[in-house]
Chain A
Amino acid sequence: MKIEFEALYRDHYRRVFGLCRRLLGRSGQAEDAAQEVFVRAYRSLDRYDTHQPFAAWILSIASNHCVDLLRGRAREAKLFDDFDTEIDALDSSAPAALDTLVDAQRSAEIRGAIAALPDKYRLPIVLAYYNDANYDEIAHALGVTRNHVGVLLLRAKQLLRHSLAASQEES
């Protein structure tokens, strides 16, 4: 199987880097992670099913790698709390959903707020809304149940609303 790997690299680097950067948040090292993703892809090229889009394959490698990285960092503490703890953490008095018009500045603020989220909330939100993964895929990638994914996503959005409301008050 001969694949022009360099061309694939050029075509997909931005997207892979983008995903790593968003998944890893403020902790950085996205560039290293992206390089590592391509190294891993290169080494397992023989396992790549050519009927599948390359983007989907390499992005799944990227998300797995980033989740592994974050898991590694959270070695002492578990990355994800159990489902009940998470349900209890849901905020019944969270501000209403974001629905203001998004200009460039606001968009950057939102990205900043996402980057600042705790890993366990940032991961599902990036996978769902940047990588367009469904709950099953996210559940599989994070090793949690599907409902747990729903809770994490809602909690993530509630935290975003809080932090964006706060930043708006400041300004």
Chain B
Amino acid sequence: MSDNKKKILEMLAQNKISADDAYRLLSAIDGGEGRRESGNKAGTAVKDKAKYLRVTVVPGADSERSGNCDRVNIRVPMSLIRAGIKFTSLIPSDARDKVNLALHEKGIDFDERNMKPEDIEELIGALSDLEVDVVSKNGESVRVFVE
């Protein structure tokens, strides 16, 4: 039994709240826990689904005919991204301060030290919704997506 539920029952026992209030509060707590559980399940499903980060550059028809074109096809496993992010925790503190300072100068207030493992998982989970699709005037297409 959670602390919150215990507190509610204690308040009921001390007649500080009515039985109806206690029921409403307990239902609200159960609903919140249920939502959190289903959210976690959805997060796990997304994590399982997203396997690769893909970056593709496809030239336009005109550039392809001329033969002077660039074509890029990169597939990075999500597990490799996860392992790479963990590497950042090994950056020496003085080097990290320099990185943070450089980011601050560029207007980005981000401190990597504040990143927790669960934040990294959430970030990677959120990557599954990422899709960048850019088509230039000459028909060149750049796509970044997760599959």
Q: Does A pair with B?
A: no
Q: Give the B-binding residues of A (Cβ under 8 A).
A: none
Q: List residues of chain B with CB under 8 Å of any chain A CB.
A: none
